[in-house]
């Protein structure tokens, strides 16, 4: 296979990767909405879709690495070349396309990282709140035995928040 054919095939692979990243971004946005709404059934489906997209991206990345290795060998070098380096040696019709793909993929990957961090932060905050509610229900979040004293007056509540249940209630 010639270098130009390999570069065209590489361009097709990278276009597919970009399409998958677009779908992954959509999944991450939907995942955030579903996590906020506590829709576990649909969240499971979105998570499975996300895992399939990531598996396909990894598969295409392996193809990309093989193509880049073949191109590098054809050029007489052993190092892995970046898309920008390949764009520099590509014919005019592929040069701009590879450069644009590099920019788009960088933006998509950064957006995926940001959305993933946002979703992770939401999950951590939610788990912390669940843990706090559990402690409050079990009486471990408040040093006082009850929210109300024997005279019916409310006991002071520390910074962790009041208990959700009272034995007197």
Q: Which domains are present in the chain?
A: 3-138 (1.20.58)
Q: pLDDT tens, 16-48?
A: 999 999 999 999 999 999 999 989 899 999 999
Asked whether the predicted pLDDT for residue 164 surpasses 70, the reply is no
Determine the pLDDT at residue 48. Answer: 96
Q: How far apart are CA 18 and CA 54, in angstroms?
A: 12
Q: pLDDT tens, 41-82?
A: 999 999 999 999 999 999 999 999 999 988 888 888 878 888
Report the candidate in 145, 150, 153, 149 with the shortest Cα–Cα distance to residue 163: 145
R_g of the chain computed on alpha carbons:
27
Report the candidate in 55, 28, 41 with the shortest Cα–Cα distance to residue 118: 28
Q: What pTM was computed for the model?
A: 0.77
* pLDDT band per the 50, 70, 90 thresholds, residue 156: low
CB of 161 within 8 A of CB of 141? Answer: yes
Q: How far apart are CA 18 and CA 101, in angstroms?
A: 8
Mean pLDDT score, 121-145: 79
Classify residue 151 by its DSSP letter. Answer: T
Classify residue 160 by its DSSP letter. Answer: T
Alpha helices in the chain (DSSP H): 3-37, 40-74, 83-89, 92-138
Asked whether the predicted pLDDT for residue 140 surpasses 50, the reply is yes
Write out the H or E segment, with its range, that includes residue 84. Answer: helix 83-89
Please state, rounded to an integer, the average pLDDT across all residues of the chain. Answer: 86
Determine the pLDDT at residue 102. Answer: 93
Determine the pLDDT at residue 144. Answer: 47
Q: In 56-131, at which residue ranges do the beta strands (DSSP E only) sit? A: none
Determine the pLDDT at residue 112. Answer: 97
């Amino acid at each position: 296979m010639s270098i130009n054919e390999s570069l065209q095939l590489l361009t097709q692979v990278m276009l597919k990767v970009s399409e998958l990243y677009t779908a992954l971004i959509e999944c991450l946005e939907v995942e955030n909405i579903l996590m906020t709404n506590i829709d576990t059934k649909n969240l499971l489906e979105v998570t499975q879709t996300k895992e399939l997209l990531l598996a396909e991206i990894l598969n295409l990345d392996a193809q990309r690495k093989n193509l880049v290795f073949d191109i590098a060998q054809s050029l007489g070098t052993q190092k892995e070349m970046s898309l920008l380096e390949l764009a520099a040696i590509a014919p005019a019709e592929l040069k701009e396309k590879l450069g644009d793909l590099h920019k788009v993929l960088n933006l998509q990957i950064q957006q995926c990282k940001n959305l993933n961090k946002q979703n992770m932060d939401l999950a951590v905050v939610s788990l912390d709140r669940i843990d706090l509610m559990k402690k409050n229900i079990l009486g471990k979040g408040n040093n006082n035995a009850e929210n109300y004293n024997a005279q019916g007056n409310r006991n002071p509540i520390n910074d962790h928040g009041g208990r959700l249940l009272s034995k007197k209630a």
